[in-house]
């Protein structure tokens, strides 16, 4: 009999792999479908499902290398259903100590019976019974640095090579290893409606475990899913946001009654933090290029009770004279490759490619050059990305400052993903 919980995992992985769906969207869709089918899924089940889905997606490259070792059929020739049964099972055998190998194999065989045929069931059984943790450990013996890092951290070789161009070997290994750590969940306190202690008390009433952080406006949540259903969330008492992402707004440091532009604002996390820092006094113009993403910004500030944000569909890379020297401060959290948030969005590793760098940096330069003209003299601008490649960060700023002598760098910092935060680049400049 097929385990319904593992079947939800398989359907999610199939959707991600075959339909190129984002992990979080595919997972939420399958959980909703399971609820419709009256499949009983408790909190521990959701945690288990989430762990295997994100773990399997994160470790796909490494897992596929192990499959290649034992399969006489090429990866591309294996049925997507059978391939994902193998992937999720190998993830459990290699990376999850709490799942006995016998259980992983038996459940995989049951799934193969339903989603394959006799030959594929025998194929799954034969491969999984050969799998051992040593299959992963052998990758550490590889002499070539790029290949070793790629296979031991499940990182595409082109990303490893790009990182080695700018960082030393040990640093690159650390960055790639950290990209597979499951991220902590942080919430930003809506200081317009509550304070840290009151919110902690409210969450305790809702049986939500949280811990204080060293950041004034953030708390860490423990073991939580479906946070949007909590009454405290619906009341707009907080926003889900990584602490490093919040640094972008803090560094821009907007004041009450200033005119601020957030030119790439969706989904609104940083935009709404700007408004909270301004005590909901002043004016924030929020742009995004897509209608549905503009709506996300409106939904975000409406829930939080913010009234100073005016959202608009607009392409920030196209210059408009009417905005010339209009704003006191500008935030440019530009589109990027997102290599600093791989632990949160592992799909990025498999969707991005080397050729994307030229296209994305061209767009970043256009947005920065155009929007810099919208800043008043004496105003301040923050350029930021959630990426870790210097082409998207330091080199963009160097190029810009060289061409625009009326801008000076006031602060610049970059971080790589670790156990606490994502990877980000932030640069604050002043128009002199």
Percent of the chain with pLDDT over 70: 100
Check whether 2 has a pLDDT greater than 80.
no
Give 40 or 172, the one with higher predicted confidence.
Answer: 172
Percent of the chain with pLDDT over 90: 86
pTM (2 d.p.): 0.93
**Three-class secondary structure of residue 183 per DSSP:** coil
pLDDT at 259: 98
CB 142 within 8 A of CB 148: yes
Return the domain boundaries, the chain: 4-136, 142-178, 179-240, 243-431
Indicate the helix (H) or strand (E) that contains 23. Answer: helix 23-36
- The residue among 226, 238, 233 whose CA lies nearest residue 50 is 226
Q: Does residue 220 come out as left (phi exceeding 0), alpha (psi in the -120 to 50 range) or beta? A: beta
CB 294 within 8 A of CB 361: no
Please state, in angstroms and rounded to a whole number, the distance separating the CA atoms of residues 199 and 321.
44
The pLDDT confidence band at residue 1, using thresholds 50, 70 and 90, is: low
The pLDDT confidence band at residue 395, using thresholds 50, 70 and 90, is: very high
Lowest mean pLDDT among 118-122, 332-336, 353-357: 118-122
CATH code of the domain made up of 4-136: 1.10.940.10
Q: CATH number for the 179-240 domain, one of 2.130.10.10, 3.40.50.10810, 3.30.70.1170, 1.10.1200.10?
A: 3.30.70.1170
Tokens (6 digits) for 290: 């897509």
- The residue among 41, 2, 14, 61 whose CA lies nearest residue 346 is 61
Domain 243-431 superfamily per CATH: Vaccinia Virus protein VP39 (3.40.50.150)
Question: Mean per-residue pLDDT for 232-242?
Answer: 96
The answer to whether 4-136 and 179-240 have equal CATH topology is no
Cα 389 to Cα 44, 130, 169, 183, 232, distances in angstroms:
37, 39, 15, 21, 38
Check whether 41 has a pLDDT greater than 90.
no
Check whether 82 has a pLDDT greater than 90.
yes
pLDDT at 215: 86
Please state, in angstroms and rounded to a whole number, the distance separating the CA atoms of residues 49 and 7.
10
CB 250 within 8 A of CB 278: no
pLDDT in tens, 242-271: 998 999 999 999 999 999 999 999 999 999
**Three-class secondary structure of residue 219 per DSSP:** strand
Tokens (6 digits) for 142: 């590889």
Residues labelled catalytic:
386
pLDDT at 91: 97
pLDDT in tens, 83-118: 999 999 999 999 998 889 999 999 999 999 999 999
Please state, in angstroms and rounded to a whole number, the distance separating the CA atoms of residues 76 and 354.
22
Put the strands of the sheet holding 407-415 in their side by side order: 309-313, 283-288, 259-262, 327-333, 375-385, 424-431, 407-415
Give 224 or 359, the one with higher predicted confidence.
Answer: 359
Q: Does residue 365 come out as left (phi exceeding 0), alpha (psi in the -120 to 50 range) or beta? A: alpha
Q: Helix 80-95 crosses helix 101-115 at what angle (to 10 degrees)? A: 170
pLDDT in tens, 283-299: 999 999 999 999 999 99
């Amino acid at each position: 009999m097929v385990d319904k919980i593992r079947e939800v995992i398989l359907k999610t992985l199939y959707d991600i792999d075959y339909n190129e769906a984002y992990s979080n969207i595919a997972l939420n869709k399958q959980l909703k479908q399971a609820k419709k089918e009256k499949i009983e899924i408790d909190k521990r089940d959701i945690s288990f499902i989430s762990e295997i889905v994100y773990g399997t997606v994160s470790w796909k490259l490494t897992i596929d290398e192990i499959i290649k070792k034992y399969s006489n059929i090429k990866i591309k020739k294996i049925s997507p259903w059978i391939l994902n049964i193998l992937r999720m099972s190998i993830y459990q055998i290699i990376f999850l100590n709490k799942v006995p190998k016998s259980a992983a194999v038996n459940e995989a065989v049951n799934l193969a019976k339903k989603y394959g045929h006799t030959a594929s069931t025998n194929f799954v059984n034969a491969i999984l019974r050969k799998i051992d943790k040593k299959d992963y450990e052998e990758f550490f013996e590889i002499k070539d640095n790029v290949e070793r890092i790629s296979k031991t951290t499940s990182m595409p070789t082109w990303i490893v090579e790009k990182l080695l161009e700018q960082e030393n070997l040990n640093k690159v290994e650390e960055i790639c290893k950290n990209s597979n750590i499951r991220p902590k969940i942080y919430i930003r306190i809506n200081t317009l409606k509550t304070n840290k202690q009151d919110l902690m008390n409210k969450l305790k009433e809702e049986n939500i475990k949280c811990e204080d952080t060293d950041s004034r406006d953030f708390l860490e949540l423990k073991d939580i899913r479906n946070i949007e259903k909590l009454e405290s969330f619906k009341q707009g008492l907080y926003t889900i946001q990584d602490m490093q992402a919040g640094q972008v707004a803090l560094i821009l440091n907007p004041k009450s009654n200033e005119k601020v532009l957030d030119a790439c604002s969706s989904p609104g996390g940083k935009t709404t933090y700007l408004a909270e820092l301004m005590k909901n006094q002043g004016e924030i113009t929020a742009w995004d290029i897509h209608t549905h993403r503009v709506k996300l910004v409106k939904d975000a500030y409406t829930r939080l009770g913010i009234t100073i944000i005016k959202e608009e569909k607009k392409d920030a890379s196209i210059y408009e004279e009417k905005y010339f020297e209009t704003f006191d401060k500008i935030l440019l959290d530009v589109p990027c490759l997102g290599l600093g948030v791989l632990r949160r969005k592992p799909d990025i590793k498999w969707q991005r490619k080397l050729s994307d760098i030229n296209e994305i940096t061209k767009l970043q330069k256009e947005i920065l050059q155009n929007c810099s003209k919208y800043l008043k003299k004496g105003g301040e601008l923050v350029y930021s990305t959630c990426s870790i490649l210097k082409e998207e960060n330091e080199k963009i700023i160097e190029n810009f400052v060289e061409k625009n002598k009326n801008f000076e760098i006031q602060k610049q910092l970059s971080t790589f993903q670790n156990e606490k935060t994502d990877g980000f680049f932030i640069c604050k400049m002043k128009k002199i």
